[in-house]
Structures are given as structure tokens and as C-alpha cells.
Amino acid sequence: MINMKRTHNCGEVGVKDIDHEIYLLGWVHRRRDHGGLIFLDLRDRSGIVQVVVSSQDAELFATAEKLRIEYVVQVSGKAVKRSPETINQQIKTGEIEIKCSNLEILNTSKTPPIEIADATTEPDEMVRLRYRYLDLRKDKMRENLVFRHKLIRAMANYLDQKGFIEIETPFLTKSTPEGARDYLVPSRVNPGKFYALPQSPQLFKQLLMIAGMEKYFQVARCFRDEDLRSDRQPEFTQLDLEMSFVTRDDVIEVIEGTLKHTLAELEKDIDKYRGKRIPLIELPFPRLTWDEAMNRFGSDKPDLRFGLELVDISDLVRDTECMIFARTVAAGGAVKCINVKEGENKLSRAELEKLEETAKKLGAKGLAWLVLTSNGPKSPIAKFFKEEELELIYTRTKCETGDVLLFVADYFDIACNVLGEVRLELGKKMQLIDYNSFHFTWVIDFPLFEYSKTEKRWVSRHHPFTSPQGNLDEIEEKFLKEPGRIKAQAYDLVLNGTEIGGGSIRIHRADIQHKIFKIIGIGEEEINRRFGFLIEALEYGAPPHGGVALGLDRLVMMLAGMDSIRDVIAFPKTQSALCPLTGAPDVVDPQQLKDIHIRTAI
């Protein structure tokens, strides 16, 4: 009988099939013995169906008795209606069952270390990753991978319709500076030389524009040898795209269209994950300039699911007797404030102290507070302020009786960052966040450069191929005058306070690209060695172009409401970049090392 005959998938047998002969293939999900009857839940990728084996057929029954969970079987028999009291509403196929007439064991299974049929228990993650092929048999994981597949298909279909073509770019290549360490691959045939695995297809997609491809996309694997945080992986996937003859708004429009289309296609899946109807996203997404995002939310990836905005009161406290405030402003810093509405009742003294700890950990000197009680202000700093000064602060911050004001006075960046983090902590603590809503935002007009304290020089904030705003020919003069004020034609896409993508209009002129490399301190020799091919290509009629990349793993994770990026990647690595399943990375034979001209120092 082992002919792999299959008329149905398990999860798709239904009332319509009653009295038909059904052939199924799958795994024994559960097995229950009820005296003369054995009930099997048979599972394949589509779901589960109940199979009943009766002892009336002794040989068949003997085979069924041998079954253990996760055995692989072929089953055939008639679909019959279940009696009303045995109908199972929990599963799609719950109104019928298969009366087994043939049963073949295709393979046995050891007792799995992961309980596949039990959605409530989750073993240690090391066990899950060690036996990933079993972990992926669980409903949740299978659903996540199917969801990911649908998302990628929907995006690709949309881009295809819009005239984009998918082109693969090499893995064995030269380093592209996306700001991380490269994974290196030694070349056997070129002793002493190394390929770098791409941190992104950045330079190749620009070369494709120079090659006249006009609209490119790729579901691209990227490799970055970084210390891993919980939502990072050494290899991850981007939806990468690039377009010629475009402005920022054209690129933004394509991404918005892609997401709108994709989320509409996945509407049912998303609602199922969330257990409720999630409204479709609306276009266009709001846009905040980088200055606005920092000023109002203290972050370049603002979480717009709740308010609690930062208010700048620097101008109001310039001349107060509250020295910490006045001196900060005099020194060019900022005083920022958050009004916690009804904070008097909502924030305990201990919670205030915890917030202050957070602020200090992030580098602030402190977190000043003021409670506006019905008897006036209560605060260690209130005595330094005149009544009129306080009134102005209350008006600016819309502070009413019962509210609590929190202040940070520091360098602009620190004041914003610290209060931005305090805002997020308050948002969570005060349950202001709707975890089932999607707030997409563009952050635009980023600074082109930022000062690296460790390297003691100005570096590109995105990558050095990002075009400055304004007259390109003035870039050197502007850099000499106010490097921090030059804005980039760069944009980031933020979802619920997480950066999920970013891109820019690129530099398409060789002379300007050369100048930018020099400005950020790359010497002539290094420019030629690392980027000579790009500069040269730009000299052959490079069209104006720009693009963007979305982090697919993170997007899938957030849409599906998963906590870990590893739950949406088939074979992820651990936090220490290990694969517990295969044992990678591993030592290799001495001969292999010899072949690639490598001697290890370990």
C-alpha cells in the first residue's frame, strides 16, 4: 500500500467528504486507547483529523497498537459524521472522523524531547534550537513560517506589479560599510585574501542602477558580526530595493504601497494572531523630521502609540534661580519636561525614584520632579522658582492639579534620550500602549554626520553613500562650518517605536562621493582600495537613484505579535551566534585550514 497516495490534507477533510474513501499521510499527533477503539489525531502541515481504528479488524488493530506519537503513517478509510456529543469545535475537521480501513507505518519515532501537541509548555530555548525540526512541528512555529512566506510573496507580487525585478547579488564580496564587523571568508585560490559576506547589498544595488535596471528588489540575506541583542541575528533578511530617477517621496510611496497591500493580504492571519479585528493601516504614514522626533519623543524611532510628549522649557528657565536649569541653558544645553497626567495618584514615590535611577543610568545627572497638588507645587526645586515662572511652565506643559512634571537638564542629546526612555518606561508602567495597533511613521531629514566620541571624528550617520540635502557642490564649505547641521536625504521607517527600515537618496556623482569619503577621514589610498570600483562606476553615467531596505524578520515578528525574532526564523542562532542543531561554528580539519592558508592562534 505504500504508494504515497493522498487524496486530502488532514486539516481539509470535512462534512463534504462524508462516505468518501480518504487517503492521508502524516504524523501521529496524539493516541488514545478506549478499550476496543484506538483514536489517533493525525497531523500534517494543514492541520489535524481524527482517525478511529476498531479492534474488529485484528490485524489493523495490532498495527495501531504499535503506534507512538510522531510515528509517520499512511491511513485510509471512510470519512464519517461524528455523533453530536463527540463533535470537536476546537478543530476545523471536528465534525467528522476517519474510520480506518488501512494503516501503514512509514517510520517510527523516538519519544520527542519537545511536546509537540501541547501548546502550553515550552521547553528551554536551547532544547528548542537543538531539536529545531521538532520545534517547527508545533502549530505556532508552523503558522509563523507560513505567515512569513505569505508576507514575502505578497511584497514580491506587489513590487513585481510595479515593475521591479528581483536580482540576486553575491555573497562572496568586498566589505560594505554598514557600521558592523564583517564575516570574512578566506580565499583558497587567492592566498591571504578574503571575501566579506555582505552586510547588505548596498553597493551592488547601486551598481544595478548604474547598469540601467531602474527598479530592483531582493529578499536579501545580510551578515553582520555584531554582539547580539535579543532581537538581532548574525544573519538576517531584508526586503531590499533601489530605484533610478526618483526622489525621497517616490521611494516612500513604494514602501507605503507595499505595506498597505501586504497587510491587506494578510488581514485574516494578523487578526487571528491578535484574536481580534485589527484596523487596516492608512496612508500616508505620518512623517516627523529627525529634529521633531527628538524634540517631541526623545528618540529617532518614536513610539506613536501613546502621547506623553516631551516639552522644551529651556527658554522659560534661562533666568531662574534654579541653577542646574539656568546653567544648563547658558551652556547651550536643554531643559526638557514630561507632564504625567494625574501622576500624583498614579506614581508612587518609589516609582519616581526608580525613574530617576533609569535617568541616571542613561547618563543624566538626575531627574527633577514637581507634583502640582491642590495646595500648590511639591518639589525639591519649587523653592527656586518665582510663581510667574512656574505659571509659565504649567501653561507650556498643560499642567493641572494632580499632574506630575519630570525634568531633565543636560546636553540636548542626553536630555532627549533620557526623557525619551523615561517616556517609554512610563508608557509601559501606566499601560498607555495598545499592543494590538500598528503605528508606522517615517523619520526624515536626519543629520548626515554624527560625531563619534570613540573615534574622535565625524562619521556618516547612515552610510557614506547617502546624499546630503541642498547644493552638493557646497558640501565641503558646509562641513567646515557646521558639520552637525548638514541634513541627509535619508529616511527611516519606524513601527511602534522600533526601526524597521531605512534608506536614502544616494550620491550619484563621483566627485561628491569622493569628497564625502575624504570628509569622514578616509584617505586616498583607502578610498581607491575599498571603493575605487564604485567611484569609477559613478563616472559612467550613473543615474540619480535611491532606495530603502526593510528588516523582514523584525517586521514579521511584530506583525505576528511574537516576542522573539527567533520565533519567525526557521533556523536561528543563539545569542552567542551558535547553532545548537548543527553545532556551528565548529573546528575544521587541519587540512582544510591548510588549503585556505590559515593558521589559528587558539
Here the cell at position 217 is 528588489
Residue 556, C-beta contacts closer than 8 angstroms, at least 6 positions apart: 144, 147, 148, 151, 562, 568
Q: DSSP readout, 290-359? A: HHHHHHHHSSSS--TTS---EEE-HHHHTTSS-HHHHHHHHTT-EEEEEEETTHHHH--HHHHHHHHHHH
Nearer of residues 75 and 548 to ligand ASP, judged by Cβ: 548
Q: How far is the CB of 217 from ligand ASP (least distance, A)?
A: 11
Over 449-515, what HEC string results?
EEEECCCCEEEECCCCCECECCCHHHHHHHHHHCHHHCEECEEEEEECCEEEEEEEEECCCHHHHHH
CB 84 within 8 Å of CB 91: no
Question: How do strand 215-223 and strand 165-166 relate by DSSP bridges?
Answer: parallel
Residues of this chain that interact with ligand ASP (CB under 6 A) are: 178, 200, 202, 502-504, 547-549
Q: How far is the CB of 508 from ligand ASP (least distance, A)?
A: 14
Q: How far is the CB of 443 from ligand ASP (least distance, A)?
A: 14
For residues 128 and 138, give the distance between their C-alpha atoms in angstroms, rounded to a whole number. 11
For ligand ASP, which residue has the nearest CB?
A: 200
Nearer of residues 69 and 207 to ligand ASP, judged by Cβ: 207
Q: How far is the CB of 179 from ligand ASP (least distance, A)?
A: 9
Here the cell at position 146 is 507560513
Nearer of residues 178 and 253 to ligand ASP, judged by Cβ: 178
Nearer of residues 238 and 262 to ligand ASP, judged by Cβ: 238
Nearer of residues 77 and 201 to ligand ASP, judged by Cβ: 201
Question: Bridge partners of 53?
Answer: 38
Nearer of residues 325 and 517 to ligand ASP, judged by Cβ: 517
Sheet holding 404-410, edge to edge: 310-312, 334-340, 404-410, 368-373, 376-378
For residues 374 and 231, give the distance between their C-alpha atoms in angstroms, rounded to a whole number. 45
Q: How far is the CB of 465 from ligand ASP (least distance, A)?
A: 7
CB 401 within 8 Å of CB 239: no
Nearer of residues 547 and 572 to ligand ASP, judged by Cβ: 547
CA atoms within 13 A on the CB side of 517: 21
Nearer of residues 128 and 224 to ligand ASP, judged by Cβ: 224
Residue 217: its H or E element? strand 215-223
Q: How far is the CB of 463 from ligand ASP (least distance, A)?
A: 6
Sheet holding 440-444, edge to edge: 165-166, 215-223, 235-244, 545-551, 498-505, 490-495, 440-444, 287-289
CA distances from 479 to 449, 467, 473, 506 (A): 9, 14, 11, 18
For residues 220 and 237, give the distance between their C-alpha atoms in angstroms, rounded to a whole number. 5
Q: How far is the CB of 391 from ligand ASP (least distance, A)?
A: 47
Question: How do strand 545-551 and strand 498-505 relate by DSSP bridges?
Answer: antiparallel
Q: How far is the CB of 239 from ligand ASP (least distance, A)?
A: 10
Nearer of residues 75 and 490 to ligand ASP, judged by Cβ: 490
Q: How far is the CB of 466 from ligand ASP (least distance, A)?
A: 7
Nearest CA to 370 out of 391, 357, 297, 362 is that of 391
Q: How far is the CB of 222 from ligand ASP (least distance, A)?
A: 6
Nearer of residues 238 and 417 to ligand ASP, judged by Cβ: 238
Nearer of residues 105 and 228 to ligand ASP, judged by Cβ: 228
Nearest CA to 359 out of 418, 297, 273, 280 is that of 418
Q: How far is the CB of 220 from ligand ASP (least distance, A)?
A: 9
Nearer of residues 204 and 440 to ligand ASP, judged by Cβ: 204
Q: How far is the CB of 167 from ligand ASP (least distance, A)?
A: 15
